[in-house]
Amino acid sequence: MILPDFLPAGSPDAYVDIVPEISVIVPVYNAAATIGATIASVLDQTFRRFEIVAVDDGSSDESLAVLLGLAAQDSRIRVISQRNGGVSSARNLGAETAMAPLIAFLDSDDLWARDKLACHVALHRAAPELAASYARIAFIAPDADTLDGARTVSTLTRHAPALADLLGENPVCTASNLVVRRDWFAHIGGFDDRLNFAEDQEFVARLVSRGGKVDGIDSVLTGYRFSPDGLSMDHARMHAGWRVLVDRYIDDAAIRASLEALYSRYLARRVLRSGGSPVEALRFVLRGLRLDARSFMAERQRGLATVLAACAAPLIPAALRRRLFA
């Protein structure tokens, strides 16, 4: 039987017998406030041949109850619960139960554009040799409910991202932006569950280092939410996690300095976007310039803008900084 890709809206029961072409893995930890909107952005996709595997990672809030309520309303949602093991462990558990040949990841506080899955599935159909794909990201406020109005969006590399691209500013940015073939996911062993910082960056770096080809979609398809209490706001630990990651791949001191300069610029920009400490942003800028000023100022407009913004940030109230740099 030939199954339609784009099904008319209607009862979720209409999808019970549909074989999914893509599995969406959603790790959840104490996300009762945001998980409803996140799941809704999947259910609203124009491409309908998907399943959702939501993995509650030992939440202590109402996350599991919210997930079970959502699953009771839509047969495409499956809920798994485990004792707290970290985000990598939760993603791996979800992937183990995935039924589709493609796997997409979505963190419990992020959002997708309605054509996210349609664009990725079309790319993988056209290029079956691809191991994974990513798109562009809109950096959205904690209270945003759509991708509209984002002042800052990510860019793609001009070529398939190489290891150096991924270890520097990392165009993939977040697991919520990633779609990977299930056979490649199994081949490289999934996410490293020893890591809670830079684990998504390490996964894509390992994929590319083992010969997997990654390509980008030039559309803004993921909304990356800056949650004040999220792991992604602990920039010092992100930096420490990045150092663990780069130790695995780069021995040359000069290359390491160049990559760390780029990553320092990336962290400085994250601090500014999130309304974080101006002192922390300036510290990352100075570190990057000290390590390798030429690399930090590569893409001169971005480098200069980061320096100027970090210098001006102490004079600007936090709320205004978020609006200016978001």
Percent of the chain beyond pLDDT 70? 90
User: For position 142, what pLDDT does the model report?
Assistant: 81
Residue 290 pLDDT exceeds 80: yes
End-to-end CA distance of the chain: 47
> What confidence score (pLDDT) does residue 9 get?
46
Residue where a domain stops, chosen among 230, 258, 278: 230
Q: Quick check: 81 pLDDT over 80? A: yes
Judge contact between 39 and 12, C-beta under 8 A: no
Residue 6 lies in a domain: no
Would residue 12 count as lying in a domain? no
162 and 129 in a common domain: yes
Q: Are residues 260 and 195 in the same domain?
A: no
> Does 272 lie in the same domain as 223?
no
Instruction: Tell me: do 28 and 156 sit in the same domain.
Output: yes
Which residue in the block uniquely carries the two structure tokens 């996690």? 241
Position with higher pLDDT, 276 vs 45: 45
Q: Are residues 290 and 202 in the same domain?
A: no
Sorting pLDDT into bands at 50, 70 and 90, what band is 162? very high
Residue 241 covered by a domain? no
Residue 14 inside a domain? The answer is: no
What is the layout of strands, in order, in the sheet containing 179-181?
Answer: 77-82, 50-57, 22-28, 102-105, 179-181, 132-140, 214-225, 111-112
Higher pLDDT, 148 or 21: 21
Q: Stretch 241-270: mean pLDDT, rounded?
A: 91
3-state secondary structure the chain: CCCCCCCCCCCHHHHCCCCCCEEEEEEECCCCCCHHHHHHHHHCCCCCCEEEEEEEECCCCCHHHHHHHHHHHCCCEEEEEECCCCHHHHHHHHHHCCCCCEEEECCCCCEECCCHHHHHHHHHHHCCCCCEEEEEEEEECCCCCCCCCCCCECCCCCCCCCHHHHHCCCCCCCHHHCEEEHHHHHHHCCCCCCCCCCHHHHHHHHHHHCCCCEEEEEEEEEEEECCCCCHHHCHHHHHHHHHHHHHCCCCCHHHHHHHHHHHHHHHHHHHHHHCCCHHHHHHHHHHHHHHHHHHHCCCHHHHHHHHHHHHHHHHCCHHHHHHHHC
Are 167 and 80 part of one and the same domain? yes
Task: Please indicate, yes or no, if residue 92 is contained in any of the structural domains.
Answer: yes
pLDDT at 16: 45
**How many domains would you assign to the chain?**
2
- Mean pLDDT for 246-258 is 92
Look at residue 215 and tell me if it is in a domain.
yes
Read off the pLDDT band of 324 (50, 70, 90): low
Average pLDDT of every residue of the chain? 89
CATH number at residue 219: 3.90.550.10
Given a cut of 80, whether residue 3 has pLDDT beyond it is: no
* Mean pLDDT computed over 103-131: 97
Q: Residue 323's pLDDT is what?
A: 60
Cα diameter, the chain: 64
Q: Do residue 176 and residue 49 come from a single domain?
A: yes
Determine which of 70-84, 99-113, 183-197 has the lowest per-residue pLDDT on average.
Answer: 183-197
Q: Is the pLDDT score of 53 beyond 60?
A: yes
The 10s digit of each residue's pLDDT in 204-216 is: 999 999 999 999 9
| pTM tops 0.85, yes or no | yes
Whether residues 57 and 141 fall in one domain? yes
Q: How many other CB atoms sit within 10 Å of the CB of residue 216?
A: 21
Neighbours of 47 (CB within 10 A): 19
Domain end: 166, 195, 230, which one?
230
Domain boundary among 230, 263, 282: 230
Tell me, yes or no, whether 116 lies in a domain. Answer: yes
Mean predicted confidence (pLDDT) in 303-322 = 82
The domain in which residue 274 lies consists of 250-325
- What is the average per-residue pLDDT within 167-178? 93
Is 287 in the same domain as 145? no
Q: Are 209 and 306 within one domain?
A: no
The average pLDDT across 175-196 equals 95
Q: Are residues 27 and 90 in the same domain?
A: yes
**Residue 158 falls within a domain, yes or no?**
yes
Query: Given pLDDT bands bounded at 50, 70 and 90, which one contains residue 315?
Result: confident
Say if residue 129 is in the same domain as residue 197.
yes
